[in-house]
Amino acid sequence: MGSTNFAPLYLSDSEFSPEQGFLPQDPLGQLPDSPTLNDLGHELPKLLSARTVRRFIDEQPRLLPTIPANWRTEDYRAAMRTLSFAGHAYVWEVPDQPTAKLPPQLAQPWHEVARRLGRPPVLSYASYALDNWRRLDKTKPVQLDNIVLLQNFLGGLDEEWFVVVHIQIEREAGPGLAGLLRAMTGAAEGKEDEVLLGLNSLASAQTAMRNTLLRMNERCDPYVYYNRVRPYIHGWKNSPSMPHGLTYEGVEPYAGQPQQFRGETGAQSTIVPCLDAGLGIAHAPDPLTLYLQEMRDYMPPRHRAFLQALEKATDNLGRPMLTGYVRDRKVHNPDLWVAYSTCVDLLAKFREIHIGYADSYIHRQHQSHDSNPTAVGTGGTPFMQYLQKHLDETKQAITE
């Protein structure tokens, strides 16, 4: 009936697994043969508390020796994590007085490691969440009472909880996206039972994701988040306090020109775009859709490819494959429509909870300086009205 070009997505080279979704296997905590960078990562919360990050980095001749030829992907990811936290700590050490220049001993290795990973040299979701956890007990699974962060800015309960909730949702999404792929494969092969089983697996995972998201305010207070966590994850594009961006000194490809990159945001996670793609949720163009398209540049390239493969999966009428299949059987197999509608409804509920948090954790907070604005997200875009629009468009998928 349609394309089956998403079938290879189960392969390990997609960096996706049904057990852990887009989370890697246990990320590397320390870098081999990089004592200065390891030291900096370990001491960063204390240096930032004392506001001596810039001084410490300025005094180092090099943060990272020449990158060894035998480095594995996990080595690059660990280096990217520490360099990204260090870079943002350097820029935002005094949140209302950011610096617009990075010294070469930080800018050069950050740019090189980022280039090898196919991402810009800025803190993105992959380094902030996906590659930033360890299990307390390695015999137990990735779950909220068994995961902590490898790297923090200031540290503390609220910062820790804010990120580990995202990590747990990523893990729970694994079986869900595997179910979505199963449903899409079933639709491509005309197997109604497979479609139903896949959608039920997705709904089960989405319920777990929603329940985890609802726990955010248990240990992450909105005031603490806004004033102690959020200031350090901003970027330097559409930033009122960094209108020209950031100069990466010594990085030849930039030729001394300041660069503008978006800040870290959950919009760089591949989960929700994958759900939109697989469930056939369409969003009319608006500033947020343009922004979300741009966010793909900050995703690991293989995650982006996974998402694009889902978007290309259409039936012979050019419709999103799963949506077309379920709609065509609405009368003779209503169970399929009910299962599909449940998944769309759960996605809408997830978006609804997120809007509530955006309101309480950002929009309603008191803005004391323009480096931490309440009217835009950490990615630098106005969010409230467009988040509501995207929620409405999700609901429309099952009311038309």
The confidence score (pLDDT) of residue 396 equals: 95
Q: What is the pLDDT of residue 65?
A: 80
209 with 350: CB under 8 angstroms? yes
Cα 340 from Cα 333, distance rounded (Å): 12
pTM for the structure as a whole: 0.96
The Cα 138–Cα 244 span in angstroms is: 45
In sign, the C-alpha dihedral spanning 274, 275, 279, 284 is negative
Which long-range contacts link 11-18 to residues 24+ away (Cβ below 8 Å)?
Answer: 13/302, 14/302, 14/305, 14/306, 15/300, 15/302, 15/303, 15/306, 16/174, 16/177, 16/303, 16/306, 17/174, 18/174, 18/175, 18/177, 18/178
Would you report the helix, strand and coil content of the chain in percent, each value rounded to 5? 55, 5, 40
Residues 6+ apart with CB under 8 A from 54: 90, 93, 99
Taking the C-alpha atoms of residue 267 and residue 273, their distance in angstroms, rounded to an integer, is: 9
Predicted confidence at residue 4, as pLDDT, reads 46
Specify the pLDDT at position 384: 78
How far is residue 1's CA from residue 391's CA, in Å, rounded to a whole number? Answer: 30
150 vs 136: CA distance, rounded Å:
11
pLDDT reported for residue 12: 61
Closest CA to 391 of 341, 343, 353, 342: 353
CB of 120 closer than 8 Å to CB of 114: yes
Q: SS3 of 11, please?
A: coil
Measured CA distances, 207 to 82, 202, 345 (Å): 33, 9, 11
pLDDT at position 400 is 64
Residues 6+ apart with CB under 8 A from 96: 241, 368, 369, 371, 372
Structure-token pair, residue 149: 């962060």
CA distance 132 to 77: 9
Amino acid at 303: H
User: What backbone torsions phi and psi does residue 3 show, to the nearest 5 degrees?
Assistant: -80, 145
Give the separation between CA 11 and CA 142, rounded to whole angstroms.
21
Angle at 87 between CA 125 and CA 236, to 5 degrees: 70
Q: Is 269 exposed, middle or buried (0-12, 13-18, 19+ CB in 10 A)?
A: buried
CA distance 83 to 7: 36
Q: In the chain, what is the greatest distance between 2 CA atoms, to the nearest angstrom? A: 72
State residue 10's pLDDT score.
Answer: 53
Domains and CATH numbers, the chain: 30-396 (1.20.58.480)
Cα gap 297→203, rounded to integer Å: 29
Instruction: Tell me the average confidence (pLDDT) per consecutive run of 10 residues in the chain, 400 residues long.
Output: 48 82 96 95 98 98 89 97 98 97 98 98 98 98 97 98 98 97 94 98 98 98 96 94 97 98 95 98 92 95 94 90 95 97 98 94 88 80 82 91
Taken in order 367, 371, 375, 378, the sign of the CA dihedral is negative
For 338-363, b/e burial (b = at least 16 CB within 10 A) is ebbbbbbbbbbbbbeebbebbebbbb
